[in-house]
Amino acid sequence: MFNRAFFEEDLYKLLAHYSSTHETHGPVVELKVADGSVYKVKAKVVATDDWVTLEVWESEDAREPVQLTLPYGAVMQVKIYPTDPDEEHIGFRRE
């Protein structure tokens, strides 16, 4: 199960490893939640012991990201893959 440590530490380690082994301007972090929704994550805003708030793109057509707050139990999958050159603005922003 995902938790605070994953979003504050482990995710950044995974991104560093991914970036060191793949050519990309900024990897995409994709989040799948319990209701089946899938979001492209722009940044982590805050993580607590019970929930995480992320800045996400709700759709491919979204003009601006939105903040999404989820309990950790709602996070089903986190996927990392290369940024499409035409969508570099969608890649994950490291702090």
> Across 21-71, where does the E strand assignment appear?
28-33, 38-47, 51-57, 66-71
Q: What is the pLDDT of residues 45-62, one digit of tens each?
A: 999 999 999 999 987 788
Q: What is the pLDDT of residue 95?
A: 54
- Domain edges within the chain: 4-90
Q: Residue 93: pLDDT above 90?
A: no
Q: Which is more confidently placed, 42 or 88?
A: 42
- The percent of residues in the chain predicted with pLDDT above 90, rounded, is 64
Which residues 6+ apart lie within 8 Å of 35 measured at CB?
74
Confidence tier at 91 by pLDDT (50, 70, 90)? low
Query: At the top level of CATH, which class does the domain 4-90 belong to?
Result: mainly beta
| Residue 20 tokens, joined | 């060191």
